[in-house]
Amino acid sequence: MGKEYLRLGLKLCALIVFMTILGFLLLLAVYALPTAPMEKNLAESAEVFLREGSYPVTDILGTDSRLDNYTDALMLLTAAYSGDESLTDRALKAYRYTTAANEDPVLVLTAHYMDGKEVETVSYERYWHGYLILLKPLLLLFDYSEIRLVNLVCTALSLFCLMLLMYKRGLGRYIPALALSLLLVDISAIVRSLQFSSMLHLSVLASILLLLMYERLRKDRGELLFFAGIGCAASFLDLLTWPLAGFGIPACLMICKDRGRARGTLLFLLCSLGAWLLGYGAMWAGKWLILTAFGDAEAIKNALTIAFFRSSMADEAGYAFRYLDVLKLNLDHLVSPAGAAALAYILFVLLLGLKSPGAGRNRTPGRWPGLLLLAALPLLWYKLMGNHSYVHHWFTYREMAVSVFALLCMATPPYLVKKKRDGGV
């Protein structure tokens, strides 16, 4: 048994080292691409930002739902940056253009590419900025509006594939739960904001892979390596928007697929969560270790300073707030038409159950402890990341997609879809 755990530990370490090196090499590769066509497409995108502004409100599916053009402009300015620094320096420091006053990136983009305003260089090495491995090639070919369209098409196709796979793998009854969860966090805004989309794509891809490889992953603790890899990918791609979705959505499907008892399922989930956290944290630390290796002596100190600040219960001005304030700000966004639809769905399946003979005997309470833990994870995340969840509540509330999906999966009974059509799981 001891040797088995040792081998598993070595595999996890090897995977994290591999992912860290791979991420760095992929960034080096895309930073070698020519930037002139990217700047041309970025200049053509400036009109969209001028028209929409930094935070255009949508309010289609959620309360106070808005796009994050501020961060999208930052991402595009980073992707098109064409400075004279070395390849490794650019890949690690994530330089972009700004003005002397370090203005809103939307203002920088429009002022520079439409009015010819002088710009300066600023670095943003806090994150990996792994989204650049996709954004740079896209910006090489398309402007911002066209990239949004590509993002919409890819999202629609990937969600269709996931839902089709769920149906074929005996999880068809959970498709309404997934759809309602995405509606509740305003998928219409997600597909139009690049910074929101990274975690959606990772969550969907991870879920597809999980369902395709489920039997293989259940052998020799393969799910631990799987979720450690997903954690690494989340840390690499994301700008701390709603990273828990990368774990929570596929984990919900994993529990719904599992036939084990409550204790075994809960232990299974806790181990998978630990692997995901290990991958996420180690990948983040790997960025700072590489920076240190390339001569940035203050990298680790800066990383710890940022981490402590983002986990504090005070804002940039020093104003102290309570955990309940953080919860309220995030939960308020769920009071929406989509939230009402989720409640109506729960009432519908409960009423359907009253009319279904033997419905009570068909429930699967063995999955409930694991699903309840998943539902609680965003609440724990808001505690750990208090400052960030308070200041950026208007997008961190999307972590609650995990809670809603888990709770709706609990409410979804086997009798909702006939066994003959749903695989009998």
Q: According to the 3-state scheme, what is the secondary structure of 31-86?
A: HCCCCHHHHHHHHHHHHHHHHHCCCCECCCCCCCCECCHHHHHHHHHHHCCCCCCC
Could you tell me the residue range of the domain that residue 63 belongs to? 36-122
Looking at residue 357, what is its pLDDT?
A: 52
Same domain, yes or no: 22 and 48: no
Q: Could you give the C-alpha distances from 397 to 33, 291, 326, 404, in angstroms and in order?
A: 36, 32, 10, 11
pLDDT tens readout for residues 190-230: 999 999 999 999 999 999 999 999 888 877 678 899 999 99
Same domain, yes or no: 291 and 264: yes
Among residues 103, 122, 141, the one where a domain terminates is: 122
Output the six-digit token pair for 340: 């009402």
Q: Which residues of 317-350 are buried (b: 16+ CB within 10 A; e: fewer)?
A: eeeebeeeebbebbbebbebebbeebeebbeebe
Model confidence at 259, in pLDDT bands (50, 70, 90)? low
Rounded to whole angstroms, the Cα distance separating 99 from 117 reads 8
Looking at residue 5, what is its pLDDT?
A: 77
pLDDT tens readout for residues 334-358: 888 888 888 888 888 777 766 655 5
Please determine, for residue 62, whether its predicted confidence score (pLDDT) is greater than 70. Answer: no
Vertex 307 angle, CA 302 and 308, to 5°: 100
Q: Which of 222, 200, 201, 199 is nearest to 210 (CA)?
A: 222
The whole model's pTM is what?
0.91
Helix (H, G, I), strand (E, B) or coil at 96: strand
pLDDT tens readout for residues 357-389: 554 444 555 678 889 999 999 999 999 999 999
Same domain, yes or no: 339 and 409: yes
Task: Evaluate whether residue 138 is within a structural domain.
Answer: no
Same domain, yes or no: 61 and 15: no
Task: Evaluate whether residue 326 is within a structural domain.
Answer: yes
